[in-house]
Structure 1
Amino acid sequence: MIKGKSKMEFGTGDIRMTAALSGGIGALCYITQKPHVIGERVPVEDSWNVDQAEVVMTFTKTESIDVLIEELQDVKAMMDGSYPFEKTRIRDEELNFNAFMQAQEDDINGLREKIRTLGYEIPEEGMQKLLHILRMAGYV
């Protein structure tokens, strides 16, 4: 199940990935940090809690981790040109990886306008939460 929308942009060394295990559920927690050398193992000297993570991937079966690793290996092969059909594939236009974020912004703006017509104002953070709740309930 996917809950909410988020985009993680890798490539600058500013995403801290921390593995965790609790109650038999494995997790990979992502936190924005000060940039450092990509791949450098930074000692975890500070204490942190999962509620500080901006994205958490949880796993109840190790097979799901294997599939994630395989897909990441495919992405890597596509990027370095070694993926079998990547050399012959022709796409009419580039993919817009920001499109889903724009759709979310459009949803928020539309919802904001509907609420304003009722005479109410909701701060931005509240709008994000309200839209998330409405999506989870299937109203948006």
Structure 2
Amino acid sequence: METIQFIHSGWAYIVLIVLVIATFNALIKFFGNKEFDAKDFRISLFTLITMHIQLLFGIILWFTKGYFDEMSVGEVMKNDAVRKLAVEHPATMLIAVALVTIGYSKHKKKLVSKPKFKVLAIFYTIALALVLYMIPWNQWF
């Protein structure tokens, strides 16, 4: 279990860096009226892939931690620290992954650059905000 925790925590740095790059890339190119090219496609795809890999590590970790094996749902919900790790963090990160997935899927349907960057900018920015809000910073550093 410590190995999965280590991988999940280490991979999170990659996810955060890639998500920041993809978000700022979309915002800068949207406001700069730039053309969408293969590099932009790869950045958004790599963000999608890294987020989904992190999701898999998180799901494995959530099931192996067994928060609800030792505590009842009521006990978990009353304990702020456990609730954040067992409920709030996974739920918020799942929403962030869904937003990246939706944004990526919607951008592929757009035919011109500006709407592509707009969709990516909106969905990736919201996902980034959720990720930054829900990272357990006190355990990360």
Larger radius of gyration: 1
Bigger share in helix: 2
Bigger share in strand: 1
TM-score over 0.5 (shorter chain)? no
Q: Which has the higher contact order (CA 8 A, sep 6+)?
A: 2
Interval of TM-score (by shorter of Structure 1 and Structure 2): under 0.3
TM-score (norm 1): 0.25
